[in-house]
Amino acid sequence: MWLQSNIGELAAFGTAIFWTITALAFESASLKVGSLSVNIIRLCIGFIFISTFTFFSRGLLFPTDANSMQWLWLSLSGLIGFVLGDLFLFKSYTLIGSRFAMLIMTLVPPLTAIQGRLFLNETLNGFHIL
């Protein structure tokens, strides 16, 4: 009964623990072999896992059923997020450490809200902030 009523808290706690372990592990690896090498290895391993999953779930190794516009957006998203974003993240681990980099990443939601207000005239009420 206790587990059912506190499953959200346990999931959040587990996520925080694994997020911390991952950051520390990637910091250690980036310091040893370099952020670019870590990112390339991570991308290759991730590609193998995702291809295996999609093969068993959809019967396709690649999304060959996607049209050219979907491929364009998928490629741009992967290039910006997985390649550049994570490369810069791993480089920040070597420059300022994973603890400080993760602390800076906690500023993303409030900074996004401020930029949304300034550039897109978005408003947040109390429910949105929670």
From residue 75, give the alpha-carbon distance in Å to each of 20, 36, 64, 72, 79: 29, 19, 13, 5, 6
Amino acid identity, position 76: L
Could you tell me which residue, 57 or 5, shows the higher pLDDT?
Answer: 57
87-107 pLDDT, tens digit per residue, is 999 999 999 999 999 999 999
Q: How confident is the model at residue 4 (pLDDT cuts 50, 70, 90)?
A: confident
Q: How confident is the model at residue 120 (pLDDT cuts 50, 70, 90)?
A: very high
Query: Is residue 27 within 8 Å of residue 98, measured between CB atoms?
Result: yes
Query: Is residue 83 within 8 Å of residue 36, measured between CB atoms?
Result: no
pTM: 0.79
Quote the pLDDT of residue 125.
85
Cα 28 to Cα 62: distance, rounded to the nearest angstrom: 32
Q: Is the pLDDT of residue 61 over 90?
A: no
Q: Is the pLDDT of residue 75 over 80?
A: yes
